[in-house]
Amino acid sequence: MSNKRLFAAIFVLASLVSGCATHMPNNVEGDAGLGRTRPIIVENFDFNPKGAVDVSADSIEKLNLELSENVVSELKKMGLPAKLADKSAPAQDAYVLKGRILQVNGGSTALRIWIGFGAGSTTVTVRGEVLDAKTGAQVRNFTLTRQSNWTYSNNEAAVRENIGELASDIAALFKPAD
């Protein structure tokens, strides 16, 4: 094999493999030492299903509630006192988690199955913040993105997988610093 062909083959292979990432670079700023004993109130994430691409708006209409509930569940698994926000004012010693689903792209099932290597992957991006309920001060802010793995799932199911992964990522923001 000539050097040019070998270089081209290595370049193509490296390009394909680099497209497999499911965990995108994220941006997290703020205090890493969030207290374990303070209650965490999770507000329903803002979301406009009409802005979603390549997914049925009807099937993802309540994606924001699903994300919020998954975050509470993940926090509770970590032994943290968490609940969904209700009409009452949060306790003064609580953290308030609020956010917005910025992007939902369902990708392409056909590309995920037939090509793979990141082609046709779904993408979900969330931006949020953690506030001190007493002072209203921002303690932490984040922007997180997840992409789907290679999957036979339809676009809506793959987006839901991303939502579950993002819930775990958000809950991990409350993990005590080592």
Question: According to the model, what pLDDT value does residue 68 have?
Answer: 96
User: What does the pLDDT profile of the chain (178 residues) look like in tens digits?
Assistant: 565 554 455 444 444 443 444 444 465 665 655 666 789 999 999 988 888 776 777 777 788 999 999 999 999 999 999 999 987 767 778 999 999 999 887 665 555 555 555 555 678 899 999 999 999 999 999 999 988 766 666 777 778 888 999 999 999 998 876 5
103 in a structural domain: yes
Query: How many domains does one find in the chain?
Result: 1
Residue 178 lies in a domain: no
Print the domain residue range for 129. Answer: 21-172
The reported pTM is 0.77
37 belongs to a structural domain: yes
Give the span between the Cα atoms of 144 and 142, in whole angstroms.
6
> How many CA atoms within 13 Å lie on the side-chain side of 103?
11
For residues 22 and 8, give the distance between their C-alpha atoms in angstroms, rounded to a whole number.
Answer: 25
pLDDT at residue 128, rounded to an integer: 96
What the block records as the tokens of 63 is 């994606």
* CATH number of the domain within which 67 lies: 3.40.50.10610
In a domain, 6, yes or no: no
Q: What is the per-residue pLDDT for 45?
A: 95
Question: Is 157 domain-assigned?
Answer: yes
15: in domain: no
From CA 145, how far away is CA 129, in angstroms rounded? 15
Q: Considering the domain boundaries, does residue 14 fall inside one? A: no
Tell me if 13 is assigned to some domain.
no
Q: If you write DSSP's letter for every residue of 72-92 in order, what string do you get?
A: HHHHHHTT--EEE--SSPPPT
> φ and ψ at 146, to 5 degrees?
-130, 145
Give residue 35's pLDDT.
62
